Amino acid sequence: MKLQYVWSKVFKKIRGSAVLKSSIHPTSKIESGSNIVNTTMGKHSFCGYNCDINNTEIGSFCSIANNVVIGGGMHPIDWVSTSPVFYSGRDSVRAKFSEFDRVSMLKTKIGHDVWIGQNVLIKQGVIIGNGSVIGMGSVVTKNVEPYSIIGGVPAKLIKMRFEEVLVERLLNSEWWNKDDNKLKNAAKYIQNPKMFLTLIEE
């Protein structure tokens, strides 16, 4: 059983990831089975297994779990048909009856220090605020406020992570842009936001 487990883990890893026209910071990681297209990712962020991320800006210190879909394409719902046989570009079906252009895909923006749970779907063009948390299995169709915790289908506000004054201090500090050495020094207070900010704000 142990050998089977090891082989399973190895196979999961060797599939590799597909990254196209994207910029991923050297300190960040994309796990196997994920497809990343036209996307940027800041420092110390990661994307789990089997994610599909398209046309998205991802900040620093973000945690994206497995099977997350961000910024997928949309079919034209104001045309007679939503079928890809009527619009331009390569698709799953080969036939082309006409080749009209669809509206350009909107950029999706994921802030800094965002945690996105497993199996989350995020509609293209949505803006996810800094420090927010998206519960597993959520479907996000609207912008998300900084430091909010949301969940559900469609996703709704559950609660705020911190009181308003502390949220404002965290946002103003922009700690995610600080030098790594400064962050290492303040990390001893990571469990105490106020003490952490006191060192960061010096």
Q: What are the residue numbers of the active site?
A: 75
Tokens of 130: 């800094």
Give the closest residue to 67 by CA, choosing from 86, 84, 87, 47. 47
Q: What are phi and psi of 183, to 5 degrees?
A: -70, -40
Q: How far apart are CA 158 and CA 133, in angstroms?
A: 10
As a whole number of angstroms, the longest Cα–Cα distance in the chain is: 64
Residue 51 C-beta-side C-alpha neighbours within 13 Å: 28
Tokens of 131: 């420090």
| Helix, strand or coil, per DSSP, at residue 197 | helix
Q: What's the DSSP call for residue 190?
A: T
| Helix, strand or coil, per DSSP, at residue 122 | strand
Distance set, CA 159 to CA 77, 135, 145, 151 (Å): 34, 12, 11, 10
Paired strand residues for 44? none
